[in-house]
Every structure is written in structure tokens, then in C-alpha cells.
Amino acid sequence: MLLSILRPLLARSKSRDQSSRQDGTPVSRLRFEKLNKDWNAEPNAPDPQISISGSDVLLTFFLNHQLFKQFDEEEIGIIRFTNCTSYRLGGTNDEGWYRGQCRYSKIAPEWGEFYEIHGDDPFRDSPTDWVQISSEKSASRHFLFYLRDHTCEAIADGCVLEDDPRNALLRVAGLRLRQDRTG
């Protein structure tokens, strides 16, 4: 009985970069590098859309104009995942994340951010809704963007801000996304 009382307390005291899955399987040390600074997706209705251009995947979404005043309402951001081998736009939402229903709920720093995940992740491919673009396994970087009612993930060589006149992220001086590390 004492163990059943202490188990939830012990689980909460784990560090942010270590965790176990609910089935008891340990998750290796993962590091979440935040890629969005001074911008984010619209928190209530980002309306994420995926399009494919050759071996690249483009994620288009509405920007948060309420928190980031450099954006106007209805402006969009576009991120290009270069040489993408697979992507998913899954259904894990903010409520599921806070309830621990996401495989990264207990280890990702914050909901609603854009990350690159570093480290050995044995559960990366556990969702069943991955869309394969290429059978080549050359892409090794894992990108994760938590949106209001979706989780976008991509396995790609890199990610860049799309060079598109509609992309408000390019218009605002000083906004950066870590550069593509291909080549």
C-alpha cells in the first residue's frame, strides 16, 4: 500500500529529460532543442496544412499574432523539412499531452513549441500514422511541433523557413530557425 502511495510522487520527481513509458519501458535520455524563438503558431486555431514538394514537406500554419505583435491576424508561417523521409500530423492535442497520453508528455519541456529531438528514441516510430515519402533512411533528424489539436513530426535532413512571399516569418527581421545542416 505504501508503494502505491509513493509511486505517483516518485514519478513526478523524475528529471525532465528522463522518463519511463506507462508500460515501464525506460525512455533513453532525450534532449529537446527549441527551434522557435520570438514566434509561434496561433494557439487556438493554427490550421496546420501539409504539402509535399519533391522530397520536401512543407508545414503551413497561422501565426500567433496575439502574443507576437510583429504579426498580423491571419498571417502564416511556412516551414520546409528538407529531404524528408516521413512525416505525421497526428491527433495528440494539448489535453492529451497534459494528461500524459503523448509519448513525450513527461519529458518535453513545454506544450505548443517547435523542437528538434536529439538522442536515441526507441519509440520514435511507435505512432502508426507516419506517412512515408521515401524508403531511403538517410534523414536522421527528428522535428516535433506541438500545435493546438495536432502534433506535427518529420524525419528529415533539416528544416528551413520557406522562401515564399506569404511566409510572414521571413518578413520579420531577426527571426531565425536553425539552419539546415545538410552537406
Q: Where are the domains of the chain?
A: 32-171
What confidence score (pLDDT) does residue 16 get? 31
Round to whole Å and give the CA distance between 112 and 6. 31
DSSP β-bridge partners for residue 132? 86
Round to whole Å and give the CA distance between 140 and 128. 19
Q: What confidence tier does 177 reach under pLDDT thresholds 50, 70, 90?
A: low
Flag the least confident range among 32-41, 83-92, 99-108, 116-125.
Answer: 99-108
Round to whole Å and give the CA distance between 123 and 81. 21
Q: Which residue has the cell 496561433?
A: 42
Q: Does the pLDDT of residue 10 top 90, yes or no?
A: no
DSSP β-bridge partners for residue 51? 58
Q: How many CB atoms lie within 10 A of CB 172?
A: 16
Alpha carbon of 121 to those of 94, 113, 135, 154, 174: distances in Å? 22, 19, 20, 14, 32
**Total-model pTM:** 0.80
Mean pLDDT for the stretch of residues 154-175: 86
Alpha carbon of 153 to those of 18, 94, 168, 172: distances in Å? 20, 15, 22, 25
* CB burial of residue 115 (10 Å; 0-12, 13-18, 19+): buried
pLDDT in tens, 63-90: 999 999 999 999 999 999 999 999 999 8
Beta carbons of 41 and 48 less than 8 angstroms apart: yes
What is the chain's mean pLDDT, rounded? 81
pLDDT in tens, 108-146: 889 889 999 999 988 898 999 999 998 887 778 999 999
- CA torsion, points 103, 107, 112, 114, in degrees to nearest 10? -90
Round to whole Å and give the CA distance between 58 and 54. 10
3-state helix, strand, coil in the chain (%, to 5): 10, 30, 55
